[in-house]
Amino acid sequence: MDLTFRNVDQVCAQAILSDTPTLELSSITFFRPFAIVYLGMFLRHHNSCGKSCRVALPNNIIAKGYLARQNFWERFNFSHETIEREKLNRITTSTSLNDIVDIESTNTIAEEVERQVKNVLIVNHVKTSIPEVANIACELVDNFAQHSRETLAVFHMQYYPNRNEIALAVADCGIGIRNSLSSNSQYASLADEPHYVAALKAFEPGVTCSEGGMGLTEIKDSITSLNGRLLLSTGDEYVRIDQRYVTYGKMAYDLTGVQVEVSFPVGG
């Protein structure tokens, strides 16, 4: 079974139902980027609340090996406040398309990620609008750095040559879009609205908690021009933008922060 946007929230919601919370991953054979970063944030959030979670590891050797190669459990299964700085997996020139990368909230992090994404796309001869895709990564990371009020997030990029697809995912356990926007008195009323209302508002040009407010607008425009798709969850709701169609709905689990996956078809 694939773990994707469709079911990762249910797996997390199921995990906390019992007295001994257990993440049931035994039947998982494949992880989509959204699922991997969502799962990571779920674990990180739980651990920061002082809760622990047992894990039923995937029976599938490839899926299990994938998590091991990503240092998934070391990375997420404890409070990030306790991670020694030198153990943060910072971006280096050797970063491959398959790495999960910890990103810190710094002034230059968005540009660092943009450069890295661009390099990886060039090296792999991916046929797409490289500057545009790299800029989407940049804007997603910049949003985290500017608005999440969290020190650490995660970035993940996956190229699927057989499917002719690129997926980028960014996730944090920060304050989320609703809290961020409603801190601006102009949008204070959003505090009483569902999460999806705030999320959709954030895609409108010029809407922000402080200054600017063009990043998500540009991402939405790029999704349209590249025939892509965006999945965003914040709190207990999600927004999905599929070219020109926008849908929203409930997540089975109420996770703090913002988790996003953007994917595009690329030339074969």
Partner 1 sequence: MDTHVVDITSLTNPCITRSRGREAALKLSPYIDKYRVAIDLRNAELVSLSYLDELICHYLDAVDSGNIVFISNKDIDSKLSKIATVRSITIHCRNARNKEYIAPTDSYLPPTPIFTNTKS
Q: Which stretch binds partner 1 (CB under 8 A): 14-22, 38-46, 237-245, 253-261?
A: 237-245
CA distance 163 to 160: 5
Q: Give the CB-side neighbour count of residue 221, counting CA atoms within 13 A.
A: 10
φ/ψ bin of 137: left (φ > 0), alpha (ψ from -120 to 50), beta (otherwise)? alpha
CA distance 149 to 252: 25
Which is it for the CA torsion 84, 31, 21, 170, positive or negative?
positive
**217 forms part of the interface with partner 1 (CB under 8 A):** yes
Nearer to partner 1, 142 or 150 (CB): 142
Nearer to partner 1, 53 or 130 (CB): 130
Quote the radius of gyration of the chain (alpha carbons, Å).
18
Tokens of 125: 């001869």
Query: Residue 130 CB, nearest distance to partner 1 (Å)?
Result: 9
Could you give the 3-state DSSP secondary structure of residue 119?
A: helix
Scanning residues 182 to 201, which ones bind partner 1 (CB under 8 A)? 196, 200
State the DSSP code for 262: E
**125 forms part of the interface with partner 1 (CB under 8 A):** no
**131 forms part of the interface with partner 1 (CB under 8 A):** yes
Q: Which stretch binds partner 1 (CB under 8 A): 12-20, 22-30, 95-103, 233-241?
A: 233-241
Scanning residues 7 to 46, which ones bind partner 1 (CB under 8 A)? none
Sites of contact with partner 1 (CB under 8 A): 5-6, 107, 110-111, 114, 131-132, 135, 138-139, 142, 146, 196, 200, 203-206, 211-215, 217-218, 221, 238-240, 244-250
